[in-house]
Chains A and B, each alone.
Chain A
Amino acid sequence: MLSYVIRRVLLLIPMMLGIVVILFGLMRLIPGDPAVVLLGQDATPQAIAQMHHALGLDRPLIVQLGIYIAHLAVGDLGRSIFQHDPVSQIVLVHLSATVELTVTALFLAIVIGLPLGIVAAVRQGSVIDMANMVFAQLGVSMPVFWLGILLMFWFAVLLGWLPAFGRGAPLLQAIAAALSGHPQVLVDSLRHLAMPAFALGLNGAAFISRITRSSMLDVLHEDYIRTALAKGLTGWKVVYHHTLRNAFLPIISVIGLQFGTLLGGAVLTETIFSWPGVGRLAVGAISQRDYPLLQGTVLVIALLFSLVNLAVDLLYALIDPRIRFD
């Protein structure tokens, strides 16, 4: 097990290197560069040339890449061309916001999606099942920017219950503050988190409920379930111990994938609710051709994505004792 984990972690190094090289090449293949964006339309060709020199963009590509990798090797992600701050600092701040939103959204998705899926599978063809199917269809197909604006209209404009945008204190600090006698900090934090997390989590909930339902149905038709029921075990015991446990692998895969997708793909939610996350950061970096910032952001997201995948693979072994890693 340990050697497996070490192998997987070591494999990350060439993978990250590959990502850097591909990203580096792609960004430079598309027309337009940071000098052009930085100087805007009011740029003379001389000014652009000077800016290229100042940014080191006039050196051969291979030299630029070499310098970047050399800095990367000592943990230096460089400085953002537009924000002038170190990339690592910018990415970390945004990452904490994204992880907080993603984890909360995923939590909501699991809490809503899993029970719905289980009930739908057990009561296949019932009204609950039908309602669940409708919910899943809606949840998967409803665009988040529309849902977001709608939620905001109801809960912020009409009812005035929740703040329309922004982030409160970081959740973990808010919890710490609540423990030290400032519960209002936590309340504020949660109120800010509620709408974006729900908007983001709904899609995941729909997805998870569908996968749970179909995966449960597969297992429910196995012979050993019939045997268990024949032995006289009660229905819910069978559902939990025999069915859910065996149906769990695909569900875990989907949850892991969802987590990864949400990490980098929450751009629309982040934009609608002004959540300062990495999705918006990456898109902004692309549209400004902020090479170091984009490279740093993508690297960190990719790293996190890979670690989550590794965690999911390890979870398989925990859940299903038949799976062994060596």
Chain B
Amino acid sequence: MKRLVKLVAVLGLIAFIAGLTAGDWVTPAQAQQAEVSVLRVGTDVDAGTLDPRLEQDTTAYRVTNLIYDGLVQLDAKLQPQPDLAVSWKNPDPKTWIFQLRSGVKFQDGTPVTAEDVVYTFQTMLDPNFGAPHRGLYTPIEKVEAIDAHTVKFTLKQPYAPLLSYLDLGIVPKHVAEKEGQNFGSHPIGSGPFKLVRWDKASKIVLEANPDFWGGEPQFIKKIEVDVVPDNTARAQALEAGDLDLIQSPLSPQDVKRLAKDKRFTTVQMTGTGYTYLNFNTKDPILSDVKVRQALAMLVDQKTIVDQIYQGIDKAATSILLPGSWAYTDTIKQPSYDPQRAKALLAQEGWKDTNGDGILDKNGKKLSIVLSTHSEDPNRIQVVEYLQNIFKQNGIDSTVNISDWPSFIANVQDGKYQIALLGWLNLVDPDRAMYNQLHTGGGFNWGGYSNPQVDQLLDKGRTASSQDERAKAYREAAKIIAEEVPYYILTYQGYQVIYTTALKGFVPNSLGMLRSLVHASLGGP
């Protein structure tokens, strides 16, 4: 038994050495004192960085939106509203002039000036800086400070969606320059909350900013963002009272259970993303538009939405999102009809000539590989279900599932036939279509090309009135629904579930939490 004690002692010593390296603690008593004004938010991943220029994950988006101000904020309808910019002018299609709010201070006490805005966008545009979303801003030719509170953007060509992307957090030049790579861990903005503590992979703690230009948040003094990676564990933590608010991604069964619970408010709305099948139009089989239409007729959208997504995501009708100003319900994609699909394939010469149960043409089998990534169990179920339907209808189909980096690398290289994936944060129709479906577009991996669509997308990007833009996008969406380079499967849902004690919180389909500034955690 003495030996055992020694063993435990050895192990204990290792633990001791490791334990010395960890940070300081907050006593539970301290935590309890402030509980009334602390809001605990559950999230699925830790933020990679809190530098808004480098951010990439939803947690970073949501947290930096509280720490920083943008020139604009997107409201619940995704329309740009004044934030750091109080007003803006568009004297000609290629020039935008922004008037900044005066008297705004960064959380280190220095004033926010036009120079900080210029610096933020200049670094964003610098290819060596490595900003993931640089592409959204490349139509900008230059950004200049006219005076301390006026900024001028000059564009290479008219770019109507620009305003929707100007919610990018403005960083203080003097701090970001000095901190360099460390800035993302020690963020300083001018928003309503400031970072006080960040335990990586565990929690991010924010505190009300007393100098916020809109007034210090009155009731919620502290926001604790807790990383709980497992969807069900996160839902249980809310039920256990260890969290106050959780948001998508959530498991459908948890949403259904919690929606019935009187202790919580459940809000479900259409999000800003869609899940779709990407058809590689350069593939010898799929380059035939009739074949694409026939395959689209084999997509049993209703069963997929009802059974796999359990109604949390909604059946899509076109590439335009229901929440968008460009939306119309008059566009229809090919509907589920195996009989017509078979007839259409036969018409294109795909028949079972050798009686092996698989369609063929000129001695070649109709073989289709369906790909998706392994991180999303729903997507795996969808491709497996589609494989089943395809097989029943004489198509030799296989499924290819790999982890996200492998999957997306193959798709970007055009090494796929049909891929199931999604687009997120589509705050403007341009973001959902231009690079994806314009000839030679940066994300047009399937090589789709239709001069008429190109023209309409160009028009949508450059037209100055929203009506004109909407018209162009609707026409383009109609052609896309007919020619099926994309088959839009679902509109992704957004859910937020929070304690009924939280009053005054206005959910927003991007998952932003800005409205917490005026919210309170009253009694139940």
Which residues on A are within 8 Å of B, measured CB to CB? Answer: 30-33, 36-45, 47-48, 50-51, 54-55, 79, 82-85, 90, 92-97, 99-100, 103, 106-107, 110, 114, 145, 148-149, 152-153, 156-157, 160, 163-174, 177, 182, 184-185, 187-188, 240, 244, 248, 252, 255, 259, 271-274, 276, 280-281, 286-289, 304, 307-308, 311, 315, 318-319
B1 within 8 A of partner (CB): yes
- Asked if A149 and B14 sit within 8 Å, CB to CB, the answer is no
- Give Cα A51–Cα B442 distance, bound, in whole angstroms: 15
- Give Cα A51–Cα B242 distance, bound, in whole angstroms: 40
B196 within 8 A of partner (CB): no
Report the minimal beta-carbon distance from B130 to chain A, rounded to whole angstroms: 5
Q: A163-B242, A169-B25, A173-B22 are in contact. List 16 more A-B contacts (CB 8 A).
A: A40-B132, A50-B130, A54-B128, A79-B181, A99-B18, A157-B236, A160-B240, A164-B236, A166-B202, A168-B25, A170-B22, A185-B25, A271-B233, A287-B375, A287-B404, A308-B14
**Which residue of the partner chain B has the closest CB to A32?**
B405
- Give Cα A152–Cα B230 distance, bound, in whole angstroms: 12
Q: B21 — which chain A residues lie within 8 A by C-beta?
A: 92-93, 95-96
**Which residue of the partner chain B has the closest CB to A189?**
B25
- Asked if B128 and A50 sit within 8 Å, CB to CB, the answer is yes
- Give Cα A50–Cα B402 distance, bound, in whole angstroms: 25
Q: B12 — which chain A residues lie within 8 A by C-beta?
A: 103
- Asked if B200 and A110 sit within 8 Å, CB to CB, the answer is no
B457 within 8 A of partner (CB): no
Q: A259 — which chain B residues lie within 8 A by C-beta?
A: 11
Knowing A33-B405, A42-B443, A274-B229 touch, does A84 contact B49 (C-beta < 8 A)?
yes
- Asked if A31 and B22 sit within 8 Å, CB to CB, the answer is no
**Which residue of the partner chain A has the closest CB to B14?**
A99
13 A-B residue pairs with Cβ-Cβ distance under 8 Å, sorted by A, are A31-B410, A43-B135, A43-B443, A84-B48, A99-B18, A152-B233, A152-B237, A164-B243, A174-B25, A252-B3, A274-B202, A274-B228, A315-B3
Knowing A32-B409, A96-B22, A304-B14 touch, does A318 contact B3 (C-beta < 8 A)?
yes
Q: B181 — which chain A residues lie within 8 A by C-beta?
A: 79, 84
The total number of A-B Cβ pairs within 8 Å is: 231
B197 within 8 A of partner (CB): no
Q: B4 — which chain A residues lie within 8 A by C-beta?
A: 110, 114
- Asked if B132 and A38 sit within 8 Å, CB to CB, the answer is yes
B134 within 8 A of partner (CB): yes
Q: A79 — which chain B residues lie within 8 A by C-beta?
A: 181
**Which residue of the partner chain B has the closest CB to A185?**
B27
Question: Quick one: which of A97, A240, A274, A319 contacts B226, CB cutoff 8 A?
Answer: A274
- Asked if B409 and A31 sit within 8 Å, CB to CB, the answer is yes
Q: A248 — which chain B residues lie within 8 A by C-beta?
A: 3
Q: B10 — which chain A residues lie within 8 A by C-beta?
A: 311, 315
Q: B29 — which chain A residues lie within 8 A by C-beta?
A: 184
Q: A93 — which chain B residues lie within 8 A by C-beta?
A: 21-23, 200
- Asked if B405 and A252 sit within 8 Å, CB to CB, the answer is no
Q: List residues of B (1-39) whose CB comes within 8 Å of A's CBs.
A: 1, 3-4, 6-8, 10-12, 14-16, 18-29
Q: B443 — which chain A residues lie within 8 A by C-beta?
A: 41-44
**Which residue of the partner chain B has the closest CB to A153?**
B236
- Asked if A42 and B242 sit within 8 Å, CB to CB, the answer is no
Which residues on B are within 8 Å of A, measured CB to CB? Answer: 1, 3-4, 6-8, 10-12, 14-16, 18-29, 48-49, 54, 56, 127-128, 130, 132-136, 181-182, 184-185, 199-203, 226-230, 232-234, 236-237, 239-243, 375, 402-410, 412, 421, 423, 435, 442-443
- Asked if A36 and B405 sit within 8 Å, CB to CB, the answer is yes
Q: A33 — which chain B residues lie within 8 A by C-beta?
A: 405, 409
- Give Cα A39–Cα B133 distance, bound, in whole angstroms: 7
Q: B407 — which chain A residues lie within 8 A by C-beta?
A: 32
- Asked if B201 and A106 sit within 8 Å, CB to CB, the answer is no
- Give Cα A5–Cα B186 distance, bound, in whole angstroms: 44
- Asked if A273 and B233 sit within 8 Å, CB to CB, the answer is yes
- Give Cα A169–Cα B19 distance, bound, in whole angstroms: 10
- Asked if A240 and B1 sit within 8 Å, CB to CB, the answer is yes
- Asked if A41 and B3 sit within 8 Å, CB to CB, the answer is no
- The 6 A-B pairs at the shortest CB distance, nearest first, are namely A32-B405, A169-B25, A44-B442, A172-B19, A164-B237, A170-B22
- Asked if B405 and A96 sit within 8 Å, CB to CB, the answer is no
**Which residue of the partner chain A has the closest CB to B201?**
A276
- Give Cα A281–Cα B232 distance, bound, in whole angstroms: 20
Report the minimal beta-carbon distance from A15 to chain B, rounded to whole angstroms: 19
Q: A244 — which chain B residues lie within 8 A by C-beta?
A: 1
- Give Cα A307–Cα B14 distance, bound, in whole angstroms: 10
- Asked if B25 and A276 sit within 8 Å, CB to CB, the answer is no
**Which residue of the partner chain B has the closest CB to A114?**
B4
Report the minimal beta-carbon distance from B397 to chain A, rounded to whole angstroms: 22
- Asked if B25 and A165 sit within 8 Å, CB to CB, the answer is no
- Give Cα A157–Cα B11 distance, bound, in whole angstroms: 33
Q: B408 — which chain A residues lie within 8 A by C-beta?
A: 32, 36-37, 41
- Asked if B236 and A152 sit within 8 Å, CB to CB, the answer is yes
- Give Cα A92–Cα B134 distance, bound, in whole angstroms: 33
Report the minimal beta-carbon distance from B194 to chain A, rounded to whole angstroms: 19
Report the minimal beta-carbon distance from A289 to chain B, rounded to whole angstroms: 5
Knowing A37-B405, A274-B202 touch, does A165 contact B237 (C-beta < 8 A)?
yes
- Give Cα A223–Cα B271 distance, bound, in whole angstroms: 75
Question: Quick one: which of B201, B404, B406 contacts A280, CB cutoff 8 A?
Answer: B201
- Give Cα A164–Cα B227 distance, bound, in whole angstroms: 12
- Asked if A280 and B14 sit within 8 Å, CB to CB, the answer is no
- Give Cα A274–Cα B235 distance, bound, in whole angstroms: 13
Q: B410 — which chain A residues lie within 8 A by C-beta?
A: 31
Knowing A42-B132, A50-B127, A83-B48 touch, does A100 contact B185 (C-beta < 8 A)?
no
Q: B22 — which chain A residues lie within 8 A by C-beta?
A: 93, 96-97, 170, 173
**Which residue of the partner chain B has the closest CB to A34?**
B405
